[in-house]
Amino acid sequence: MSAVRYDAIVVGTGPAGAVAAEALGRAGRRVLLLERERLPRPKTCGGGVTAKVGLALGVDLAPVAERTIASVELHWKLERMRTMPDGPPLVYMTQRSRFDAWLTERALATGSVELKDGVQVKSVQTDAGGVIVRSASDAWQADYLIGADGAAGFVARALGLMQERHLLPAIEQDIAVDTATLESWQTRMALDIGSLHGSYGWVFPKGDHLNVGVGCFSTRAHSARQLKDYGRRHFDHHFAHLRPEARRIVRSVGFVLPLRPPGAPIQRERALLAGDAAGLVEAFTGEGIYWAVRSGQIAAQAIVAHQQRGAVGTLDYERTIDAELMPALIDARRWAHIYLWWPRACWELPTRSPRFWSVVAKIVRGERDYTDVRRRLGWFGRAADWLPAEMD
């Protein structure tokens, strides 16, 4: 066992863990940041970082972005397409190896965070006084633990939390295209809706390739094979006209997006779950980075506040997540149900009404959130209470 006792151990250097470590480091807390992979490491993800992430972090995302997206093509069933009106940047396209390494550097720059990468956490013990975390060869102790180890993470399982979550599948590919094609995607991204029930497709441009994928938020609607088949049709729609050497698939991978059932516990004693480990993902868009960042910040604040109270009373994490993040995440699930039942409306409304699109863009930029928009819709918004708060 290491002789050092840390204020907090954070498991995982994704956005949730890196941001939590940075916030704790800034508050002068001694933090051990453990990461299974050697950094920088890839992560299955479209790498679309919405402008609201920059707002939450209080930083300009341009230095870590490979493309800045102001223009969105909305496709309907891979048949029709309309381009949305341009505006201020909506999404910064990055690669997760780069983005997460940048966030981790920011944590290390506080001078209070120690990183051990290439270390897989294999055991977690927690009680009212603190935590003990073990890898295959070492052990460390701390006052608090943040499990930010992602959708397939170990910490939630070890704590017996998040066993009932929904897992939404997504498949993505990195496509090396010819220079002319790459340049044509400089500042635009494409989304497809309506092609497969409860599913969506995307084309996200990066500095030297395109990231292309499909995901779905209703696993009951169809089989994995149908999703793969949609992935193939989506790829062909965008790239079949190119010569084979001008559209090479360099990476193809699938993973899941986890959804927290409302009220499911995400803390036990001195251990907290953040980001994907807590199922904090927006069902309607598949956006997880923003929620990972926000939950990492809230976890750090809860720990600092608890320490300042002399570690007396409740560690106020889960309640803050329920109050500050869950209402918008649940409203996003209600929007996802509207898409499940009336997919065409989700294409017609933004493409025909500039006012509607402007509200969508404001949500993406963080100037509004789903809950705020629902409130403004009066009785129509209140009627959305009847829509399910969970996906199936």
Ligand X SMILES: Cc1cc2nc3c(=O)[nH]c(=O)nc-3n(C[C@H](O)[C@H](O)[C@H](O)COP(=O)(O)OP(=O)(O)OC[C@H]3O[C@@H](n4cnc5c(N)ncnc54)[C@H](O)[C@@H]3O)c2cc1C
Q: Does 287 bind ligand X (CB under 6 A)?
A: yes
How many binding residues for ligand X (CB under 6 A)?
A: 40
Instruction: Please tell me the chain's helix, strand, coil percentages from 3-state DSSP, rounded to the nearest 5.
Output: 40, 25, 35
Which of 97/110 has CB closer to ligand X?
97
- Residue of closest CB approach to ligand X: 288
Q: Does 36 bind ligand X (CB under 6 A)?
A: yes
Q: What is the 3-state secondary structure (H, E, C) of 304-321?
A: HHHHHCCCCCCCCCHHHH
Q: Does 64 bind ligand X (CB under 6 A)?
A: no
Q: Which of 90, 266, 289, 346 binds ligand X (CB under 6 A)?
A: 289
Instruction: Map the footprint of ligand X across residues 245-274, applying CB under 6 A.
Output: 255, 257
Q: Which of 6, 8, 10, 14 binds ligand X (CB under 6 A)?
A: 14
User: Which one, of 212, 213, 207, 202, lies nearest residue 186 by Cα?
Assistant: 207
Q: Does 192 bind ligand X (CB under 6 A)?
A: no
3-class SS of residue 259:
strand
| Burial group, residue 132, by CB count within 10 angstroms (0-12, 13-18, 19+) | middle
Which of 178/222 has CB closer to ligand X?
222
The DSSP 8-state label assigned to residue 83 in this structure reads E
Q: Does 115 bind ligand X (CB under 6 A)?
A: no
188, 71 contact by CB (below 8 A): yes
Q: Does 13 bind ligand X (CB under 6 A)?
A: yes
Smallest distance from the beta carbon of 374 to ligand X, in angstroms? 21
Burial 353-387 (b: 16+ CB within 10 A, else e): eeeebebbbbbbbeebbbbbbbeeeeeebeebeeb
Q: Which residues contact 367 (CB under 8 A, 6 or more apart)?
A: none
Q: Does 117 bind ligand X (CB under 6 A)?
A: no
Smallest distance from the beta carbon of 383 to ligand X, in angstroms? 29
Q: How far apart are CA 143 and CA 128, in angstroms?
A: 9
Q: Among the residues of 77-178, which ranges form H helices?
A: 96-108, 155-159
Burial 243-259 (b: 16+ CB within 10 A, else e): eeebbeeeeeebbbbbb
Which of 235/290 has CB closer to ligand X?
290
Q: Which stretch binds ligand X (CB under 6 A): 70-78, 147-155, 313-321, 383-391?
A: 147-155
Smallest distance from the beta carbon of 216 to ligand X, in angstroms? 11
Backbone angles phi, psi at 200, to 5 degrees: -150, 160
Q: Which stretch binds ligand X (CB under 6 A): 179-187, 226-234, 280-288, 370-378?
A: 280-288
CA-based radius of gyration for the chain: 21
Binding to ligand X by CB under 6 A, coded x per residue (else -) over 68-107, reads: ----------------------------------------
168 DSSP β-pair partners: 257
Instruction: Map the footprint of ligand X across residues 166-185, applying CB under 6 A.
Output: 170, 172
Q: Does 54 bind ligand X (CB under 6 A)?
A: no
Which of 14/343 has CB closer to ligand X?
14
Q: State the residues that interact with ligand X by CB under 6 A.
A: 11-17, 34-37, 41, 43-48, 120-121, 148-150, 153-154, 170, 172, 213, 255, 257, 275-277, 281, 286-290, 292
